[in-house]
Amino acid sequence: MNRQTINRSGAQLRTGIVDMMALGDFQRVIDICKKTLVAARDAHDPITEAMSLVGLAASHRGLGKYKDALILANGAIDQSRSAGVAEVTCNALLERATILHTGHLQFYEARDDYREVLNLAHDIGYVAGVSQALCGLAAVMLAVGQTGTVHAYARETLDIATEIDDATLQIEALHVLGLYYVEVRNHDLALQALSDALARAMDHKFAILQAYVLDAIGVLHLAMKQPSKSLSYFGRAYEIARQSHYAALESAVMLHLGETYIAQDDFAEARKCYDAVVRKSDDTNTPIIEAQASLHIAILHLHQREPILAVDYQRRAADIAHRAMNPYFESQALQQLAATERIMSHYDAAIAAFTSALDIERALENDKAVREIIAAILWTRVLSVVDKVLRLLHLRQDGDE
């Protein structure tokens, strides 16, 4: 590919798209990019044409129109490659990765795009592209529970973003760092990173980034067993997402609200949140979001001591994920299903579900998950043997759990 960089009009458009997306002004992005697309085609300017498609993809993603967004992103990739402009190809691949990551929850597919951008951006010396790819990799690795490289990626993103004075990337890097610290239970550092991110987002009036950080602070307080504080932050995040019509963030916050209500034993409110996410998945034609909500509903039924109902939702989630060709979520659903079957002493069914999940994780080359599932299978076999011995000794009845 020719190493030609983006032209002036394309660069100006890219800057405008980034700022307007951070502000949550999705319709304005659509209006502007439609005009620049027509003008670029009339002027035979393939670079600005490709960048216009990137902007249209981003704005459609924001509005939850993921199928259209993916088509537009693929068009931008093809256009930029045809024009031989590697820098714009990086931008187009980054947008597709974001759609896969936040809209379709296809974390491994997003990871592959981020890796391609990282290599390409390194080759052409596109520093901002390197930083964005690293931040994306950190986010998807955190999402799938592979935290080994998350801190290094996010820290390098922050360093580069600071060096090139990119406020948006600085906020995104601090956001990922904060969530990483929540995951490893370093709550003080999490609060420090997220507070810094929130202050910067508010300074720049980046509404969408504010909402993401507010949501993350809510997650932190939930981890700290402070659900009342969580509700406050989630409420603020949801209001921004609702006003911006940012579908992915609306669903994410509602799921977190549901978890918070469960922590307060308010199961009726939790169910309302999860049902709202299911309706949102119907509105945006994203079945995988329904699968995600189904797993949360299953957890709700487990809290209500209704494992049979939980199994129904876990099976539904696994089936949706399988049809959506989303191996990560299929594995998650199967593992949760197996754990519930084991609770009910259905050991053969539990082992079968664990084994199916194991096959998926091996195909994904997720060594950590493979080790965990093998351990779960072994423990289930032990429980099965103990159960059979107790039954043989007439110390356990068929109805016991």
Yes or no: say if 351 and 380 are a contact pair by the CB < 8 Å rule: yes
Question: How confident is the prediction along the chain (401 residues), in pLDDT tens digits per residue?
Answer: 444 678 888 999 999 999 999 999 999 999 999 999 999 999 999 999 999 999 999 999 999 999 999 999 999 999 999 999 999 999 999 999 999 999 999 999 999 999 999 999 999 999 999 999 999 999 999 999 999 999 999 999 999 999 999 999 999 999 999 999 999 999 999 999 999 999 999 999 999 999 999 999 999 999 999 999 999 999 999 999 999 999 999 999 999 999 999 999 999 999 999 999 999 999 999 999 999 999 999 999 999 999 999 999 999 999 999 999 999 999 999 999 999 999 999 999 999 999 999 999 999 988 999 999 999 999 999 999 998 888 888 765 555 54
> At 152, which amino acid appears?
A
Instruction: Provide the b/e sequence for 239-270 (b: ≥16 CB within 10 Å).
Output: ebbeebebbbbbbbbbbbbbbbbbbeeeeeeb
With respect to residue 186, please indicate whether it lies within any of the assigned structural domains. no
With respect to residue 17, please indicate whether it lies within any of the assigned structural domains. yes
Query: Where is the domain boundary, 87, 103, 119?
Result: 103
Query: Where is the domain boundary, 103, 134, 153?
Result: 103
Please count the structural domains in the chain: 2
How far is the C-alpha of 150 from the C-alpha of 111, rounded, in Å?
13
Query: Where is the domain boundary, 103, 133, 163?
Result: 103
With respect to residue 39, please indicate whether it lies within any of the assigned structural domains. yes
Per DSSP, the chain holds a count of helices (H) and strands (E) of: 19, 0
With respect to residue 353, please indicate whether it lies within any of the assigned structural domains. yes
Give the pLDDT confidence score for residue 390 in this predicted structure. 85
Give the pLDDT confidence score for residue 4 in this predicted structure. 62
Give the pLDDT confidence score for residue 1 in this predicted structure. 42
| CATH (domain of 357) | 1.25.40.10
| CATH (domain of 23) | 1.25.40
With respect to residue 277, please indicate whether it lies within any of the assigned structural domains. no
Full residue range of the structural domain in which residue 21 is found: 1-103
Give the pLDDT confidence score for residue 2 in this predicted structure. 46
With respect to residue 240, please indicate whether it lies within any of the assigned structural domains. no
With respect to residue 16, please indicate whether it lies within any of the assigned structural domains. yes
Yes or no: say if 118 and 134 are a contact pair by the CB < 8 Å rule: yes
Q: What are phi and psi of 191, to 5 degrees?
A: -65, -40
Give the pLDDT confidence score for residue 401 in this predicted structure. 47
333: CB partners within 8 A, 6+ apart: 291, 294, 295, 314, 315, 317, 318, 321
> At 387, which amino acid appears?
D
With respect to residue 326, please indicate whether it lies within any of the assigned structural domains. yes
